Copies of this chain bind each other. A is one copy, B any other.
Amino acid sequence: MTVTIYDVAREAKVSMATVSRVLNGNPNVKPDTRKKVKDVIERLDYRPNAVARGLASKKTTTVGVIIPDISNLYYSSLARGLDDIAEMYNYQVIITNTDNDPEKERDAFLSLISKQVDGIVFLGGALNDETLDDIKRSHLPVVICGTSEKDENLPSVNIDYHKAIKEASLKFFEEGAAQISFVKASYSEQLEQHIEEGLKAAYKEKGKNFRNELIFSTGEDYQSGKEIFEKLRTVESDVIITMSDETAIGILHAYMDEGFKVPADVQIISCSNTRLVNMSRPSLSSIALPLYDIGAVGMRLLTKYMKDEPIEEANVILPYKIEYRSTTK
């Protein structure tokens, strides 16, 4: 029924070992033989069974991706970069959504392990301790992108959040801002911590008084942005930094609906930079993460681990830009 390597061997009058060799580009095959085999392969429309190959070789050319929510632009932008590089290196990608649920995250990881993936990348989400243990025990190449974890000893790709937020904040202060608020969005705790520290550093450098009440936590979607507004307005900051673009737009709309002028009365900037930034009016300023690149570089890094290539730097820091659009002065 389905044609196997054995059929090809028989038709080409060689052994299956030889067929396997031409399949895998092994140079130890006489050109004549190679051609003969290739012809038969074409004629029979033979396609190697990747599962059998995986079992025999212990390599599946499949990688797992664990991500909070693929329908969120932030994550899907990361995923797209990753996928393109994966394709370039001939890897297939199994994607699993976790909604940042630790249990789903663990299940996803274990099921990827049992599928014998060659490597796994965590995109964006928080990593809980149990999973961290699983990772360690698995001895599998793992890269984390756009998120950070406690021990920081996993290969990773990020930007320097601390520096980025500090730089942006200093600029706002220098241009007259009296107070800056930060709205977290349940991304990685570790990562949001870095950002908070960056903000505090800016306060300190300017001799301004930082208060914990200036930090808010909400979801990473539009509605969460609208909802946090009532709390936000009480502190009367004149600059608001958010994690997520969607949240920022929710906040923006909430302010405008209440008669505030943006950016005259309040400035808003996100720490993301998805395609949404241009679709909002006024267009959204952001500390622009190279989302696509973070995913792409993460995947490239993973291929190096999977192929035992030398690693120059396990914790890659990518450059960021600060894009001042129309929600800032």
Binding site for B on A (CB under 8 A): 47-52, 54-55, 60, 62, 69-73, 76-77, 79-80, 83-84, 87, 92-97, 110-116, 221-222, 246, 249, 253, 256, 275-276, 278-281, 292
Contact A47 B80 (CB under 8 A): no
Q: Nearest Cβ in chain B — how far from A138, in angstroms?
A: 10
Q: Nearest Cβ in chain B — how far from A67, in angstroms?
A: 10
Q: Nearest Cβ in chain B — how far from A100, in angstroms?
A: 14
Complex CA–CA separation, A119 to B279 (angstroms) = 37
Q: Which residues of B sit under 8 angstroms from A115, Cβ to Cβ?
A: 50-51, 62, 92
The 8 Å CB contact of A79, one of B71, B221, B246, is: B71
> How many copies make up the complex?
2
Complex CA–CA separation, A50 to B221 (angstroms) = 36
- Name the prevailing secondary structure of the A interface residues: helix
The 8 Å CB contact of A70, one of B48, B80, B253, is: B80
Contact A97 B71 (CB under 8 A): no
Complex CA–CA separation, A37 to B93 (angstroms) = 34
Q: Given the known A-B contacts A47-B110, A97-B84, are A222 and B278 also in contact in the complex, defined by CB atoms under 8 Å?
A: yes
Contact B60 A51 (CB under 8 A): yes
Complex CA–CA separation, A55 to B51 (angstroms) = 6
A-B contacts, 12 of them at CB < 8 A, read: A47-B110, A48-B114, A49-B116, A50-B111, A51-B51, A51-B60, A62-B94, A70-B76, A70-B83, A94-B94, A95-B95, A222-B278
Q: Nearest Cβ in chain B — how far from A294, in angstroms?
A: 13
Q: Given the known A-B contacts A76-B71, A80-B69, A115-B51, are A279 and B60 also in contact in the complex, defined by CB atoms under 8 Å?
A: no
Closest B residue by C-beta to A45 = B137
Complex CA–CA separation, A299 to B79 (angstroms) = 21
The 8 Å CB contact of A83, one of B77, B97, B275, B276, is: B97
Contact A253 B275 (CB under 8 A): no
Q: Which residues of B sit under 8 angstroms from A94, Cβ to Cβ?
A: 62, 92-95
Q: Which residues of B sit under 8 angstroms from A222, Cβ to Cβ?
A: 275, 278-279
Complex CA–CA separation, A93 to B55 (angstroms) = 20
Q: Nearest Cβ in chain B — how far from A272, in angstroms?
A: 13
Contact B93 A95 (CB under 8 A): yes
Contact B111 A92 (CB under 8 A): yes
The 8 Å CB contact of A275, one of B77, B246, B256, B278, is: B246
Q: Which residues of B sit under 8 angstroms from A60, Cβ to Cβ?
A: 51
Complex CA–CA separation, A116 to B49 (angstroms) = 7
Q: Which residues of B sit under 8 angstroms from A84, Cβ to Cβ?
A: 97
Complex CA–CA separation, A292 to B47 (angstroms) = 34
